[in-house]
Amino acid sequence: MTPDNAPYLCGGILFTLMLQVINKGGCANDKLDGDFDGISDTDVMASLYEVVTGEKIAVNNKSTFEKETNQFKTCRKYGETYICFTNSFVIDAFTSSVKQKNPDLLKRMSEFTNTYIVRTLSEWLVKALFEVIEGDEEIAPDTVFDVTYSLSVPKDELYGITEVELPVFLLSVLSFILQERPDNTKGRSTFESWHSHAGPRSPWKFNSNIGKSITRKISVKTTLSLDTLRDTFADQPGKEAADAIALPKERSAKEITYSDEDMKLLRRLNEDYDEILSGLIGEDYGSFLLDTRLPIRIKELYESKWKSKADSFDDPMLKSYVYGMLGELNKISQSMTDNVPSSPFLKQSRDKIRNLYVRLHPNSYESSFPYDAFIDDWNDGEY
């Protein structure tokens, strides 16, 4: 077949390139020559399935799974029994997790690369994928790929990239493929141009020079731990937030009193929000913000309960504290939903939340805490 649309990035092409760098024993040079003894293609496919879905694949018919894996690799049709990469629910869940930088997904891919990828060949894999992306005429120049946890670049700027976090980059490439390349057969000409075989029943031998045209050095990180994510997060604007925000000393003397109804309502509010507020002002706040369920919890509490109940407080000052707290949480929730968790307002917002936390626990802290610069700029739509 004439490679009239090569290179073409699809699932089979990504899988083929990954198989060239799998840790299967032997020396690194043997792998690029097509020596694949040891770990099977189906082992790699099963692990990739787990990365995408978060679940282990249940194979009842080994021969069918082997056949579908081979069809996938050689850019034939997607399997209908085991390889669910065209399932819309799987695609939506996976791409959403990639966009949100879900820590569980990043951990799974990091474990995959750390287990399977030969580190000395990881740079070649990145260069090969760069070359395919840059040469694929059907990928628009402004198509964006994540190259590190904190850096995303369009296709036409890949030429300047010299540092790549492999788990992040592979997830981004895979997300593009699942969303934009449902027809795996369009990569067949690319596959054939990269391989040779002696006859219809003989195995394909990889003999391509793909990736070797990029001569610059690319530093590749194959493992990305949650500690690394927290460090990356702390290095963004507002890194002071990585430290705990100190609360004033606890008090045991004079009590501040509100009406019985206000106190009952305040206790309910604190029962609902104390864990969230403590997490946001605590020393491990970076890890706390990596929980993708947090914006959902904040939104559900607000929409289902406190959007209406907040107006039930009688004391006007107490009511302003409650609305202020809800406003700050909604801003943080929105920033996480928009995938900008380290936006510049975060440090200031945490300071406000600390002050509000104290105000919403009126009998727990010393009254000498300085409130002269207290909150006066709540969002207009919040109350």
In tens, the pLDDT along 291-307 reads 778 888 998 999 999 98
Average pLDDT in the chain: 80
Beta strands in the chain (DSSP E): 144-148, 151-154, 163-165, 195-196, 205-206, 219-221
- Residue 44, pLDDT score: 95
Q: Is the pLDDT of residue 371 over 70?
A: no
- The pLDDT of 30-47, averaged and rounded, is 72
Task: For residue 111, give the amino acid letter.
Answer: E
Which token pair is 24?
């299967």
Q: Which residue is it, tokens 């069809």?
A: 71
For the chain, how many structural domains are there in total?
2
Task: Note down the domain range covering 178.
Answer: 11-224
The answer to whether the beta carbons of residues 112 and 47 sit under 8 Å apart is: yes
More confident site: 77 or 178 = 178
CB atoms inside a 10 Å sphere around CB 240: 12
Give residue 369's pLDDT: 39
Segment 219-230 shows an average pLDDT of: 70
Q: How many CB atoms lie within 10 A of CB 135?
A: 15
pLDDT of amino acid 3: 44
Domain co-membership, 204 together with 272: no
Residues 152 and 248 in one domain: no
pLDDT(59) > 70: yes
| Contact predicate 123/218, CB 8 Å | yes
Between 41 and 29, the more confident residue is 41
Residues 40 and 105 in one domain: yes
- Which pTM value belongs to this model? 0.59
Query: Does residue 279 form part of some domain?
Result: yes
Q: What's the confidence (pLDDT) of residue 2? A: 39
Q: What is the largest CA-CA distance in the chain?
A: 90
Q: Which residues contact 250 (CB under 8 A, 6 or more apart)?
A: 364, 365, 366
Rounded to 5°, angle at Cα 302 from 300 and 303: 65
How do residues 85-136 score in pLDDT, each as one tens digit? 888 888 988 998 898 888 888 989 999 998 999 999 999 999 999 999 999 9
Same domain for 244 and 220: no
- 215 with 242, same domain: the answer is no
Confidence at residue 100, expressed as pLDDT on a 0 to 100 scale: 83
Query: What was the pLDDT predicted at 4?
Result: 54
Q: How many helices (H) and strands (E) does the chain have?
A: 16, 6
Task: Give the confidence band of 319 by pLDDT, cuts at 50, 70, 90.
Answer: confident
* Average confidence (pLDDT) over 149-153: 90
Is residue 359 in some structural domain? yes
Same domain, 182 and 318: no
pLDDT score recorded for residue 367: 45
Residues forming a β-bridge with 196: 205
Do residues 265 and 208 share a domain? Answer: no
